[in-house]
Structure 1
């Protein structure tokens, strides 16, 4: 599962995605991918997507998510319109 999620995240690097993790939905640009984490920079401001308490630190890459905790990821273009 993590290997498939890693490959998918690598394909989405630089693109805006909709990510589901532990019952929460996040929308942001994939900025970095490692074998254990994907970093997402939030987009769209506070829209009830769970970004209000994160901030934008983390070395400028965005917010890290463990690949094993991600339950779904998809390109966000269809979800934002």
Structure 2
């Protein structure tokens, strides 16, 4: 199964994506295109505390992109919190 199919399957769910540089990106899948997956960052990882949230365009509406060419693994976020 390709990463595109996997991302389409998990659309709207919290996932952890590992890239080729070993960084882990955790967030909710907002959008999937032919070349990228867009993640909305987890709120628990933003600045700690309550912060200012997404007031008037602050933050990512579509999420931030991760190219499929750089993805080495995808795990459901719910599996990480057992």
Q: Comparing 38-47 with 23-32, which one deviates more in the overlay? A: 38-47
The question of whether the paired residues in 2 share the 8 Å contact of 1:56 and 1:63 is answered with: no
TM-score, normalised to structure 1's length? 0.77
Distance 2:24 2:74 in 1: 10
Aligned mates of 2:63, 2:46 — CA distance in 1: 15
* 1:48-78 alpha-carbon deviations (Å, 9 max, x no partner): xxxxxxx823xx1111000110010111112
Residue 17 of structure 2 is aligned with which of 16, 19, 29? Answer: 19
Cα shift readout 1:27-64 (whole Å, capped 9, x = no counterpart):
100000001000000112248xxxxxxx823xx11110
TM-score (norm 2): 0.76
Q: Structure 1 unaligned runs (5+)?
A: 48-54
> What is the match of residue 38 of structure 2?
39
Counterpart Cα distance in 2 of 1:56 and 1:79: 25
- Map 1:2-81 onto structure 2 (within 5 A): 4-21=2-19, 22-43=21-42, 44-46=44-46, 56-57=59-60, 60-81=61-82
RMSD: 1.9
Number of equivalences: 70
